[in-house]
């Protein structure tokens, strides 16, 4: 099947070689270990043979564990790094990481006012570099951050942007029509793609996740399958539920998807976004 999981995290209990960032402790690592090997032990039985690794917050701006996993398993992993957007030259850091296989950079409002979360000079430099280098700006946001993002997409129309986890619509348990519309309106920006992911955290938060079907259908109608990619958000998907249950929603649970649609959502979109050189 050769599917691609477009969003998973990995970490190691070896905090001597890979120390945690300031403010994080071993107790924050739940589960205590989720190495690349443990991830692939979950993924391969479901037909997943490639994964996009997302830098874990435990490590701050130290992307070494993710990069080392990418080196140890060439061709298996792509990477989304986290860098200090306020450093003197974020563009140089982005290019350096691109040379090591990174294809995207995670951004989010942090402690900033959500209306102005993209106003800084560093993020503008990152968006400009993303356009030149074909590097994804990967947004971990709620729908209240979309107005600022759409302004940035207008200013940098060639920058590729990924919206994680269906813009986290439904984390409260309620899927509001106005939130779904706000996400679907982002389809007007031709370089924006969406991850259909983290099903364990959205809506009823229980498999088979069929309550998410109407939202995914609206996103599908707006973006098309070529701009949607499936992902688990492991290890969190497998704490109380299973990896296969996440795959099953796309494979079996959405009757509006054709076989070709499933191929795009489960493989080809992520391949184009994160695995092309």
Annotate 198-257 with three-state secondary structure. CHHHCCCCCCCCHHHHHHHHHHHHHHCHHHEEECCCECCHHHHCCHHHHHHHHHHHCCCC
Q: What CATH architecture does domain 3-275 belong to?
A: Alpha-Beta Barrel (3.20)
In order, the DSSP letters of 259-274 are HHHHHIIIIIHHIIII
What does the pLDDT read at residue 185? 98
What does the pLDDT read at residue 33? 97
Give residues with Cβ within 8 angstroms of 80, minimum separation 6.
52, 53, 54, 55, 102, 103, 104, 105, 106, 136, 138, 274
User: Nearest-5° angle of CA 262, CA 188, CA 198?
Assistant: 45
Helix (H) or strand (E) holding 102: strand 102-107
C-alpha closest to that of 161 among 179, 148, 177: 148
Cα–Cα distance, 262 to 1 (Å, whole number): 11
Cα–Cα distance, 108 to 117 (Å, whole number): 8
What does the pLDDT read at residue 110? 85
What does the pLDDT read at residue 277? 73
Cα–Cα distance, 180 to 190 (Å, whole number): 18
Domain residue spans of the chain: 3-275
What does the pLDDT read at residue 140? 98
- Distance from chain centroid for Cα 232: 9
Secondary structure (H, E, C), 120-169: CHHHHHHHHHHHHHCCEEEECCCHHHHHHHHHHHHHCCCCCEEEHHHHHC
What does the pLDDT read at residue 276? 86
pLDDT in tens, 222-231: 999 999 999 9
- Across the chain, which has 277 residues, the per-10-residue mean pLDDT values are 96 97 94 98 98 97 98 97 96 98 96 92 97 98 98 98 98 98 98 98 98 98 98 98 98 98 98 93
What does the pLDDT read at residue 111? 82
DSSP state of 58: G
DSSP state of 191: T
């Amino acid at each position: 099947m050769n599917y691609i999981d477009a969003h998973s995290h990995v970490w190691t209990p070896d905090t001597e070689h890979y120390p945690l960032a300031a403010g994080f402790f071993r107790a924050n690592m739940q589960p205590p270990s989720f190495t690349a090997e443990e991830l692939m032990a979950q993924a391969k039985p479901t037909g997943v043979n490639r994964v996009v690794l997302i830098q874990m917050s435990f490590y701050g701006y130290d992307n070494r564990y993710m990069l080392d996993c990418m080196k140890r398993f060439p061709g298996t992993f792509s990477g989304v790094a986290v860098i200090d957007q306020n450093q003197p030259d974020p563009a140089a850091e982005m290019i350096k990481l691109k040379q090591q296989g990174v294809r995207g950079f995670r951004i989010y409002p942090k402690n900033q006012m959500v209306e102005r979360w993209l106003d800084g000079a560093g993020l503008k430099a990152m968006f400009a570099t993303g356009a030149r280098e074909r590097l994804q700006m990967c947004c971990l946001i709620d729908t209240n951050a979309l107005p600022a993002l759409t302004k940035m997409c207008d200013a940098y129309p060639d920058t590729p942007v990924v919206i994680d986890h269906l813009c986290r619509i439904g984390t409260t348990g309620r899927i509001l029509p106005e939130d779904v519309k706000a996400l679907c309106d982002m389809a007007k920006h031709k370089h924006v793609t969406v991850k259909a992911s983290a099903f364990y955290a959205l809506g009823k938060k229980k498999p088979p996740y069929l309550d998410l079907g109407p939202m995914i259908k609206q996103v599908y109608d707006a973006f098309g399958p070529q701009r949607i990619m499936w992902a688990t958000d492991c290890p969190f998907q497998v704490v109380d539920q299973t990896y296969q249950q996440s795959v099953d929603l796309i494979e079996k649970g959405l009757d509006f998807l054709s076989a070709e649609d499933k191929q795009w959502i489960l493989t080809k979109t992520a391949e184009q976004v994160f695995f092309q050189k």
